[in-house]
Amino acid sequence: MEKKIELICIPSPGTSHIVSMLQMARLMVARDQRISITVLLIKRPASSTDLTSTSFEENNDQTSIRFVHLREPDPSNSLIHLDEQARFFASTGEIQIPIVREAIVAEFMGRPGSLGNLAGILMDMFCACMVDVAKEFQVPSYIYFPSNASCLGLMNHMHAMIEQEEGSEFINSDPVLNIPIFSHPYPANVLPITMIYKNHNTTTLLGLTNKFKESSGIVVNTFSELEPVANRENEKLGPIYHVGPLVNFEKSIGRDEMMRWLDDQPRSSVVFLCFGSMGNFVEEQVKEIAVALERSRCRFIWSLRMSREVLPEGFLERTCELGKLIEWAPQVDILSHVAVGGFVSHCGWNSILESLWYGVSVAAWPLYAEQQMNAFLLVKELELAVEVKMDYRQNENQIVAAEVIENAIRRLMDGGSDMDEMRKRVKDLSETSNIDRRRIFL
């Protein structure tokens, strides 16, 4: 019997990061049956949410992909007093190194010959310190970058600026920057907030690029036709491997009331509003969205994880024939339905790739993390989306007026000749992404 080629995958403890890396793992074992993958699931100290207890393991071939739940780190005093972001970086970084080392010894040295078959360690971008662990075991290390090539290039660019004492002055001004990875001037007010201030969290995040450069290569969830400028510029960082689009193709089982309702709607007539697992709005903003939807008279599905009591009085009765409100949205099911013609999105990268895969045009409303940059990439750089508010930041108490939201929805769903051209670009990229994906499996 031919020996298996062993690979270790280390995702960071966030749902989107775990799901994306598992898509990568499934792709590898589907392509080469000699590969066996061990996924080390990190447990953050004193975390209120144990992501490792979810059903990530249920939908995987246990003969080729197995899961090891790492022990919880001892929460030190230095972690207890850190803010949430700093605690995340600390709890996915150096504190995990002895735990990962311990797991590799137990799982691989305990199985005769398995360490000798260990081909490398694929680690999430936030776990880049594990490059040092790979060096200890004398195996190659690869960084898995679940976001896009533009974000990777922007991190590297901003790291250089921060080291040169630049960057923080942009937050309260509106200059336009020339950043090599973009072909258009970049407005500083849409820089990701985590890349601007010269503080511990920013230097920690951007400092990850130093470890990226020490790795054997960077695996990016994109494809060459989507980000040609960024892909070309990133070649300076070392070996770059494009493996996208890695999309979650798992659909829900059965046809519930919402999906049956979609079956009865005209083709491309429904706008879908969904803002990710952390996409929450204050009550006033929810009311503005409701007013915008009602005025637009568009058919809609709105994923709203708030009490419906916050909605304007009579909204549900007046729109009951037009749309559906749901708490949790089976996003792949909805985006893949022929009745869906537009997607108002927070611009998380997984959501963007899913919308492109299914050829659904986007209205960009970023909330946090690198999503403002993703919105710029879609709206300005690639002209694949319309803008709701590109410089919106979830924690700054901004309220986007109903009129702005309504105009974006109307343009997305009705539009004109410019929207026809945009839809054609989206459809063309959808076909290209499907072709690239098929090539990966050949």
- The β-bridge partners of 69 are 41
Collect contacts of 283-289 with beta carbons under 8 A, ≥24 apart: 283/310, 284/399, 285/399, 285/400, 286/310, 286/311, 287/311, 287/312, 288/399, 288/400, 288/401, 288/402, 288/405, 289/402, 289/405
Q: Which element (helix H / strand E) includes 376? A: helix 371-376
Q: What average pLDDT does range 404-424 have in this prediction?
A: 93
- pLDDT above 90 for 215: yes
Q: What angle do CA 433, 439, 441 make, to 5 degrees?
A: 115
Give a yes or no: residue 282 inside a domain.
yes
Give me the pLDDT at residue 58, please.
61
Give me the pLDDT at residue 37, please.
96
Q: Which of 168, 165, 187 is nearest to 178 (CA)?
A: 187
- pLDDT above 50 for 52: no
Q: Which of 56, 58, 67, 66 is nearest to 19 (CA)?
A: 56
Residue 442 pLDDT grade (very low, low, confident, very high; cuts 50, 70, 90): very low
Beta-carbon contacts of residue 74 (< 8 Å; ≥ 6 apart) = 45
Are 90 and 75 in contact, with CB atoms under 8 Å apart? Answer: no
Give me the pLDDT at residue 417, please.
84
**3-state SS, residue 121:** strand
Assigned token pair, 65: 């992909």
Give me the pLDDT at residue 117, please.
87
Q: Which of 75, 104, 100 is nearest to 87 (CA)?
A: 75
- pLDDT above 70 for 145: yes
Residue 174 pLDDT grade (very low, low, confident, very high; cuts 50, 70, 90): low
B/e letters for 19-53, b = 16+ CB within 10 Å, e = fewer, are bbbbbbbbebbeeeeebbbbbbbbbbbebeeebbe
Q: What average pLDDT does range 176-182 have in this prediction?
A: 91
The overall average pLDDT reported for the chain is 88
- pLDDT above 50 for 82: yes
What's the CA gap between 338 and 385, in Å, rounded?
Answer: 19
What's the CA gap between 121 and 141, in Å, rounded?
Answer: 5
Helices (H), 187-227: 200-214
What's the CA gap between 51 and 353, in Å, rounded?
Answer: 23
267 and 137 part of one domain: no
For the chain, the farthest-separated pair of C-alpha atoms sits apart, in whole angstroms, at: 68
Give a yes or no: residue 185 inside a domain.
no
Give me the pLDDT at residue 254, please.
58
Q: pLDDT (tens digit, 9 = 90+) per residue, 91-105? A: 888 889 999 999 999
Measured from the Cβ of residue 365, the count of other Cβ atoms closer than 10 Å reads: 26
Q: What average pLDDT does range 115-132 have in this prediction?
A: 93
Percent of the chain surpassing pLDDT 70: 88
- pLDDT above 60 for 128: yes
Give a yes or no: residue 235 inside a domain.
no
Give a yes or no: residue 199 inside a domain.
no
Give a yes or no: residue 21 inside a domain.
yes
Residue 185 pLDDT grade (very low, low, confident, very high; cuts 50, 70, 90): very high
Q: What CATH number did the domain enclosing 120 receive?
A: 3.40.50.2000
Q: pLDDT (tens digit, 9 = 90+) per residue, 310-334? A: 999 999 999 999 999 999 889 999 9
Measured from the Cβ of residue 65, the count of other Cβ atoms closer than 10 Å reads: 22
Are 206 and 197 in contact, with CB atoms under 8 Å apart? Answer: no
Would residue 187 be called left, alpha or beta, if left means φ above 0 and alpha means ψ between -120 and 50 degrees? Answer: beta
Give a yes or no: residue 203 inside a domain.
no
- Number of structural domains found in the chain: 2
Q: pLDDT (tens digit, 9 = 90+) per residue, 225-281? A: 999 999 999 988 889 999 989 987 777 755 688 899 999 999 999 999 999 878 889
Q: Out of 61-75, 161-175, 192-206, pick the least confident.
A: 161-175
Residue type, 335: L
- pLDDT above 80 for 57: no
Beta-carbon contacts of residue 379 (< 8 Å; ≥ 6 apart) = 364, 385, 386, 387, 390
Are 302 and 321 in contact, with CB atoms under 8 Å apart? Answer: no
Assigned token pair, 42: 């990190």
Q: Which of 121, 146, 171 is the last residue of a domain?
A: 146
Give me the pLDDT at residue 149, please.
97
Are 21 and 51 in contact, with CB atoms under 8 Å apart? Answer: no
Give me the pLDDT at residue 84, please.
76
Q: Which domain holds residue 25?
A: 5-146
Give me the pLDDT at residue 440, please.
47
Q: What average pLDDT does range 171-199 have in this prediction?
A: 83
Q: Which of 91, 120, 146 is the last residue of a domain?
A: 146
Give me the pLDDT at residue 53, please.
44
Q: Which of 103, 127, 146 is the last residue of a domain?
A: 146
Give a yes or no: residue 198 inside a domain.
no
Percent of the chain surpassing pLDDT 90: 62
Q: pLDDT (tens digit, 9 = 90+) per residue, 352-392? A: 999 999 999 999 999 998 999 999 999 999 999 999 999 99
Give a yes or no: residue 206 inside a domain.
no
